[in-house]
């Protein structure tokens, strides 16, 4: 009886199996258990396609191999092209060897009928898992009889600066020769393939415990299958709890913060969380009132939203430069006075940087504290603007000098059991000010805001949808600055309610 055909694997399945055999098993045998791809994953895929097309433009005369004729057609076509010496490069050619199927981003013809294998990535450097991606392709191409001169990875060049007119693919990309690393890895590939096929032949998923590999190098779409949600106040919510301490607690059967016995060695921050959870009450530092009294009015609560595309969009930008497209500011002139709101949102795909900065500096005027949550982000975006518009650098430096970060202040002075180990505004706001939250908002995360804006200004949307997106973006950014003002007010009330450190 002939031996059964080996289980067919693709390049991406092979790489999945390197990350986790159980993930590979689920992808092949239980795909229905996967989480649905979210908008950010879809956007990343679209971005990858855009990067791939630009990479191809570096090889003029290259021929693209489609898949319209099915697998057999796709497998046959590269061979005609390989023999045609007038073809300098082949894009997306499909090859198969011993049941492993790969589509090669770029095959560049080299002298002596040799070939350079090029895998294209949207990253700005080589990551370890990319090596396996190139290694499996090398394995298949060599198995198919191609004479490879080198195996390379082509990624975006982080130092490339777009001139605003035309992309120069020779500068936009860096090609790294990985031949030596790939040959070293070569012996591992057949062993990895063997273990992947063995795992796929099982009746049940392989017994693999969850761990760091569930989110690295890429988040696993079956995360929820293996990682049941941890209960409220799980010990993993203790800030910076070392693996050793965690294991020590788990060994003693302790999974919840409130079960940790008094006297167990914890850091000051961990102790604060322990106290708050154990008593079920808010913890407030001794210094809160004194430090709050240092805040002088007027106060501007400020927040930026940005998009950071792989391919730079405007002159002076590099891959993944942030495009600042929206800001919100709430101004409070004196303690206890009302808040005034100001905002900016770029509504078309033109370069928004100048309008962003001019409108912002008008509102911020010349004096007053500027409060941001994780102010390093806003400060870095202002530095970007100073770099692009050196004539505004002094004005920008004066704005930066007025920045004050509410995030470390909250970390230092308050903890509520409902924070659940997080100091993000989304966790802090509803705990300190019940009734305020981000729940139900159409845009509720920074990355979502970036994607929504991109869609709004570049998508083919009708007027109604565009208006809805605009409202959602404005509401989200406004909520962030409103939240900061609310947190400060709430902290002031707490400081007044008690004199010293402890629970409230």
Between 192 and 220, whose beta carbon lies closer to ligand SF4? Answer: 220
User: Binding to ligand SF4 by residue 8, rule CB under 6 A?
Assistant: no
* CA distances in angstroms from 99 to 9, 95, 190, 261, 367, listed in the order given: 6, 10, 12, 56, 68
200 makes contact with ligand SF4 (CB under 6 A): no
| CA dist., res. 422 & res. 239, Å (int) | 9
In the set 34, 75, 208, 461, which binds ligand SF4 (CB under 6 A)? 208
CB 359 within 8 A of CB 328: no
CB closer to ligand SF4, 173 vs 222: 222
Q: For the CB of residue 409, give the shortest distance to ligand SF4 in the complex, in Å.
A: 36
Q: How many residues bind ligand SF4 (CB under 6 A)?
A: 13
Residues 213-232 touching ligand SF4, rule: CB under 6 A, are 213-214, 220, 222-223, 226-227
Distance in Å, CB of 225 to ligand SF4, minimum: 6
Pick between residue 68 and residue 243 the one whose CB is nearest to ligand SF4: 243
Nearer to ligand SF4 by C-beta: 18 or 273? Answer: 18
Cβ at position 199, least distance to ligand SF4 in Å: 11
Name the residue nearer to ligand SF4 (CB basis): 23 or 139: 23
CA dist., res. 445 & res. 442, Å (int): 9
Rounded distance between C-alpha atoms, residue 216 and residue 128, angstroms: 11
Among 52, 186, 210, 502, binds ligand SF4 (CB under 6 A): 210
Closest CA to 272 of 287, 251, 257: 257
Nearest to residue 81, comparing CAs of 113, 120, 49, 118?
113
Find the shortest distance in angstroms from Cβ 210 to ligand SF4. 4
Q: Which is nearer to ligand SF4, 227 or 334 (CB)?
A: 227
The answer to whether 77 touches 96, Cβ cutoff 8 Å, is no
Q: Which stretch binds ligand SF4 (CB under 6 A): 17-25, 72-80, 133-141, 239-247?
A: 17-25
Identified binder of ligand SF4 from the candidate list 23, 109, 272, 413, rule CB under 6 A: 23
Return contacts of 164-169, CB within 8 angstroms, 24+ apart.
164/314, 164/315, 164/316, 165/315, 167/54, 167/57, 167/311, 169/54, 169/55, 169/57, 169/58
Give the shortest CB-14-to-ligand SF4 separation in angstroms.
15
Confirm or reject binding of residue 26 to ligand SF4 (CB under 6 A). Answer: yes
List binders of ligand SF4 among 82-111 (CB under 6 A). Answer: none
The rounded distance, in Å, linking the Cα atoms of 126 and 169 is 18
Residue owning tokens 């530095």: 383
Residues forming the site for ligand SF4 (CB under 6 A): 20, 22-23, 26, 208, 210, 213-214, 220, 222-223, 226-227
């Amino acid at each position: 009886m002939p031996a059964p055909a080996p289980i067919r694997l693709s390049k991406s399945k092979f790489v999945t199996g390197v990350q986790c055999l159980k993930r590979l098993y689920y992808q092949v045998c239980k795909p229905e258990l996967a989480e649905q791809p979210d908008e950010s994953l879809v956007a990343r895929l679209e971005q990858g396609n855009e990067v791939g097309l630009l990479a191809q433009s570096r090889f003029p005369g290259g021929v693209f191999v489609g898949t319209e004729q099915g697998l057999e057609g796709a497998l046959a076509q590269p061979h005609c092209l390989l023999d045609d010496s007038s073809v300098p490069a082949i894009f997306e050619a499909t090859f198969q060897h011993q049941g492993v199927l790969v589509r090669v981003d770029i095959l560049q013809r080299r002298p002596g009928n040799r070939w350079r294998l090029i895998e294209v990535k949207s990253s700005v450097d080589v990551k370890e898992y990319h090596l396996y991606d190139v290694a499996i392709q090398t394995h298949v191409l060599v198995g198919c009889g191609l004479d490879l001169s080198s195996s390379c990875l082509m990624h975006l060049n982080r130092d490339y600066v777009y001139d605003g007119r035309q992309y120069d693919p020779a500068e936009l990309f860096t090609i790294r020769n990985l031949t030596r690393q790939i040959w070293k890895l070569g012996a591992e590939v057949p062993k990895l393939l063997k273990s992947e096929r063995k795992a796929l032949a099982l009746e049940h998923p392989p017994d693999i415990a969850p761990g760091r590999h569930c989110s690295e190098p890429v988040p696993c779409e079956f995360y929820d299958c293996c990682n049941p949600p941890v209960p409220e106040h799980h010990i993993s919510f203790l800030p910076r709890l070392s693996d050793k301490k965690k294991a020590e607690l788990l060994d003693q059967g302790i999974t919840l913060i409130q079960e940790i016995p008094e006297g167990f060695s914890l850091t000051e921050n961990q102790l604060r969380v322990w106290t708050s959870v154990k008593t079920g009450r808010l913890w407030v530092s001794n210094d809160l009132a004194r430090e709050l009294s240092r805040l002088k009015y007027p106060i501007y609560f400020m927040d930026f939203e940005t998009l950071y595309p792989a391919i730079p969009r405007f002159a002076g930008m590099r891959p993944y430069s942030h495009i600042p497209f929206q800001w919100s500011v709430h101004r409070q002139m004196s303690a206890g006075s009302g808040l005034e709101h100001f905002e900016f949102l770029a509504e078309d795909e033109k370069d928004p940087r100048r309008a962003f900065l001019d409108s912002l500096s008008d509102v911020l005027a010349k004096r007053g504290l500027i409060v941001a949550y994780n102010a390093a982000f806003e400060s870095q975006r202002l530095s970007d603007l100073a770099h692009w518009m050196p004539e505004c650098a002094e004005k920008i430096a004066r704005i930066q000098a007025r920045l004050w970060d509410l995030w470390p202040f909250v970390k230092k002075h308050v903890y509520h059991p409902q924070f659940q180990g997080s100091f993000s505004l989304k966790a802090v706001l509803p705990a300190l000010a019940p009734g305020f939250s981000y729940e139900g908002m159409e845009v509720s995360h920074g990355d979502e805001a970036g994607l929504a804006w991109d869609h709004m200004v570049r998508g083919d949307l009708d007027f109604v949808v565009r208006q809805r997106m605009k409202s959602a973006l404005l509401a989200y950014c406004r909520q962030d600055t409103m939240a900061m003002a609310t947190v400060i007010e709430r902290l002031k009330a707490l400081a007044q309610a008690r004199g010293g450190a402890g629970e409230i």
